[in-house]
């Protein structure tokens, strides 16, 4: 079947902006990982008018898809995780073409999971964990137990991925297989939530308590990336400055809940700055020394 696509990927490989062409076959993957197409071509380019577009093909009662994605978009997916299949695609696909060992170098980077990349990805996951946990707690207190349950399942997934990264591994799509080996106590929390015969209200209550302890224990490591950025300036930061920081943009949506948690835990200090109004102050933030 690869021969049927040869004209397509050869034309793409001949372009100077193409960094790599990958091939995935449904037989080698679960159907959902290829969107149930028989074959998927992933064309990685260093520049394009749009960061990602897809074309679908059909021949001999078979169907194929071609994803054209920029290097920048690829790295954003790997970091932020909305397209969780992408790591598996990069690591396990067949390399049809690569320029300057692009895929070989990227695979090595993913396997090594370097500390700078790891800290940023952990901070992003920790911020998402805080958001889901906070929403789940509020829903529980409002007696919205089904919605609280849904949020706590989501927060457990964030906690699971965080635990995997703490051990120096990238989370996979099948993250609970990893967690079962790496962090059995979190795996048991998940089983307790979804399999327990306890009333739903009680399950959520117990998980809120356990998750609260887990979050507290991981606060410093989970927010290390953000705390290091705070320390790059002797002056305090406005919230707007932090949101626009290129290293923070990936978790800017959850930045407010992250900062409030760090203020509560004593890692971040609030600095009030006067405004023209006199009775109202700008709220700025700095790393709290002496921790």
Find the DSSP H helices in 96-174: 102-112, 115-141, 145-166
Question: What's the mean per-residue pLDDT of the chain?
Answer: 91
Burial of 142 by CB count in 10 Å (0-12 exposed, 13-18 middle, 19+ buried)? exposed
Domain(s) labelled CATH 3.30.460.10 in the chain stretch across: 2-111
Instruction: Look up the pTM and report it.
Output: 0.85
The pLDDT of residue 29 = 55
The predicted model gives 205-209 an average pLDDT of 94
Confidence band of 34 (pLDDT split at 50, 70, 90): confident
- Is the domain spanning 115-284 CATH 1.10.10.520? The answer is no
The pLDDT of residue 86 = 86
The pLDDT of residue 200 = 94
For residue 1, pLDDT over 60 is answered with: no
8 A C-beta contact, residue 255 and residue 242: yes
Domain(s) labelled CATH 1.20.120.330 in the chain stretch across: 115-284
Confidence band of 78 (pLDDT split at 50, 70, 90): confident
The pLDDT of residue 16 = 94
Burial of 247 by CB count in 10 Å (0-12 exposed, 13-18 middle, 19+ buried)? middle
What CATH number should be reported for the domain whose range is 2-111? 3.30.460.10
Q: How far apart are CA 264 and CA 259, in angstroms?
A: 9
Given the structure tokens 């989370």, which residue do they identify? Answer: 171
């Amino acid at each position: 079947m690869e021969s049927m696509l040869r004209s397509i990927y050869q034309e793409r490989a001949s372009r100077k902006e193409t960094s790599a062409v990958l091939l995935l076959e449904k037989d080698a993957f679960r159907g959902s990982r290829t969107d149930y197409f028989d074959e998927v071509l992933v064309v990685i380019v260093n520049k394009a008018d749009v960061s990602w577009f897809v074309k679908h093909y059909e021949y001999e009662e078979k169907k194929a898809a071609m994803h054209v994605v920029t290097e920048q978009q690829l790295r954003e997916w790997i970091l932020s995780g909305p397209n969780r299949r992408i790591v598996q695609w990069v690591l396990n696909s067949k390399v049809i073409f690569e320029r300057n060992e692009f895929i070989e170098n990227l695979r090595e980077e993913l396997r090594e999971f370097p500390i700078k990349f790891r800290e940023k990805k952990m901070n992003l996951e920790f911020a998402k964990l805080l958001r889901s946990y906070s929403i789940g707690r509020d829903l529980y207190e409002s007696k919205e137990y089904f919605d609280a349950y849904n949020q706590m399942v989501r927060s457990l997934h964030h906690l699971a991925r965080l635990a995997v990264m703490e051990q120096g591994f990238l989370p996979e799509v099948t993250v609970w297989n990893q967690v079962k080996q790496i962090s059995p106590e979190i795996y048991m929390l998940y089983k307790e939530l979804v399999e327990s015969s306890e009333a739903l209200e009680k399950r959520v209550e117990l998980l809120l308590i356990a998750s609260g302890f887990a979050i507290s224990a991981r606060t410093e490591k989970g927010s290390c990336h953000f705390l290091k950025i705070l320390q790059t300036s002797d002056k305090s930061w406005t919230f707007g400055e932090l949101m626009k920081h290129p290293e923070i943009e990936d978790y800017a949506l959850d930045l407010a809940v992250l900062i409030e948690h760090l203020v509560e835990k004593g890692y971040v200090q609030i600095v009030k700055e006067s405004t023209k109004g006199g009775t109202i102050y700008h709220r700025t933030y700095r790393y709290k020394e002496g921790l």
